[in-house]
Amino acid sequence: MTRRHGDSDVWQFDTSPCHRVVIPASRGFCEAAAAIGVTVAADEPLTRHTTFHIGGPADLCAVANDIGRLERLTELAVAHALPLTILGGGSNILVSDDGLRGLVIVNQARDFGLRAADLRWDEAEAALPAGEANVLAAAGTALAGLARWTIKQGLAGLEWAVSVPGTVGGAVVGNAGAHGSDIAGTLAWALVAYPGQGRQLLRPVELEFAYRNSLLKRQLASGERPVVLAAGFRLTPGDPTMLAARAEGFLARRRASQPTEPSAGSIFRNPAGDYAGRLIEAVGLKGQRVGGAQISPRHANFIVNVAQATAGDVLALIDLARGRVYEQFGIELVPEILFVGEWPTQPPYAPLRGM
C-alpha cells in the first residue's frame, strides 16, 4: 500500500541495504515538495512504473509534471542528501527486488511543440537556443506520441520511433533507435541539469552518442546524476501521408516479430555483425524459463515476465544466456538494459568464466 507523507511518517536512509529507519530526516524534503505542489509517496511499488512490472519499492516517489518541477525536485533531493533516480517510461531498466533507496522522480513533464513557449516553462526562452531545433519536447514526453505528432505536422525524421516505448529523456540517455535510425540522427541539443551544479546545453557531439550508448548513460552508470530536462530536434519537411505509411510499415514489422508480454525490450546489445537473439536461439535457450521470467519463444533477445517474475529470475536468465553464448561462440553479450537499485555485486550479472 502506498502511504503519503505526514508529519509522523517520514523516512531516513541508511547507506546499508534495506535499513530504513523512521525518523523525521526527510520531512524537510517532503514539505518543500508540497510547497511546489508535489505529493511524495513512501514505499511506492516500482512494479507500477516499469514496463517489466518488476521491482521492489522506492523509499520516496514523486511525479514531476512539468520541467520546472522536475528540476526543482532534483535540486531539493540534493539539498536534502537524498539518493536520486529519474524514471521515464521505465521501459529500459531492471529494478532490483530490494527496490530503490532515496527518491525516485517519475518524469511526466510532457509538453512539446514547435517553439520554446510550448514547453510551459517560464525559463524556456532564456535557457534554450533559438533556431537550432524545429521541434522541442520536455523530457517526459512519450517518444512514440511525439513521433506520431511530427508525422501529422509533415515533419520527417522520427517515424522509426512510433514503436519505441518510453520518454524523450530515456531515449536521449540510451540513444534509442530502430529500423536503422536513432535519436542521434535528428537531435539538435539536450538541456541537461546536474543537480547542485547547474545546467548544460549539450549538442550530439558532446553527448558522445554510440550504438545504444551516450555520455549520459555512462555518467549514470558511474553514479553521476545528469537529468535531461528537454530536447530539441531538427526535422525536415515531408509528406504526412508518406511518413504515416512508413511508420505503419515499422509498426507492422514490430507486431509480427516482438512479444506482447511485459518486458524491457531487447535485453542485450547486438554484438558487432551479429544479433543477440540469433545467438541465444542458437544455444537452445529460446523459451527457457526461470521462475516467472522466460526468454521469449517469439524473440530470444526479449525476456518476458510471464508470471510475477522477480528481478532475480531475470538476472538468472541473463547469466544463463551470457554464459552459454560465451562458451559456444566466445562472444560476450553486453546488457542493453540498465540495472537500478541495490544489488549484491556491480555489475549485478555474473562475470564470464576466464574474463
Ligand X SMILES: Cc1cc2nc3c(=O)[nH]c(=O)nc-3n(C[C@H](O)[C@H](O)[C@H](O)COP(=O)(O)OP(=O)(O)OC[C@H]3O[C@@H](n4cnc5c(N)ncnc54)[C@H](O)[C@@H]3O)c2cc1C
- Name the minimum Å distance from CB 235 to ligand X: 18
Beta bridge partners of 167: 142
- Name the minimum Å distance from CB 92 to ligand X: 3
- Which of 44, 71, 159, 336 is flagged as catalytic? 336
Nearer to ligand X, 133 or 304 (CB): 304
> How many Å apart are CA 67 and CA 110, to the nearest integer?
8
3-class DSSP assignment, residue 149: helix
- Kindly list the residues in this chain that would bind ligand X in the complex (CB under 6 A): 51, 85-93, 107, 139, 164-167, 169-171, 173-174, 176-178, 212, 220, 226-228, 258, 263-265, 338
Nearer to ligand X, 57 or 166 (CB): 166
- Name the minimum Å distance from CB 178 to ligand X: 4
Omega before residue 262 within 30° of 0, cis: no
- Name the minimum Å distance from CB 222 to ligand X: 12
Chain centroid to Cα 342, Å, comes to 17
Torsion (CA) 341, 346, 351, 355 in degrees, nearest 10 = 150
H helices present in the chain, as ranges: 27-35, 67-79, 124-127, 143-152, 168-174, 204-207, 215-221, 240-257, 276-282, 311-329
**Dihedrals φ, ψ of 70, to 5°?**
-60, -50
Give how far Cα 17 sits from Cα of 20, 99, 258, 338, Å. Answer: 8, 10, 36, 19
- Which of 27, 101, 148, 212 is flagged as catalytic? 212
Chain centroid to Cα 317, Å, comes to 21
Instruction: Determine contact, residues 61/84, Cβ cutoff 8 Å.
Output: no
> How many Å apart are CA 210 and CA 214, to the nearest integer?
6
- Which of 266, 296, 322, 324 is flagged as catalytic? 266
3-class DSSP assignment, residue 15: coil
**Dihedrals φ, ψ of 168, to 5°?**
-60, -40
> How many Å apart are CA 257 and CA 288, to the nearest integer?
18
Nearer to ligand X, 177 or 348 (CB): 177
- Name the minimum Å distance from CB 162 to ligand X: 10
- Name the minimum Å distance from CB 131 to ligand X: 24
Q: Is 212 a catalytic residue?
A: yes
Q: Is 336 a catalytic residue?
A: yes
The residue type found at 141 is: T
Give how far Cα 21 sits from Cα of 13, 14, 18, 85, 98, Å. Answer: 7, 8, 9, 20, 15
- Name the minimum Å distance from CB 190 to ligand X: 9
3-class DSSP assignment, residue 44: strand
DSSP-assigned letter for residue 175 = T
- Residues noted as catalytic: 212, 266, 336
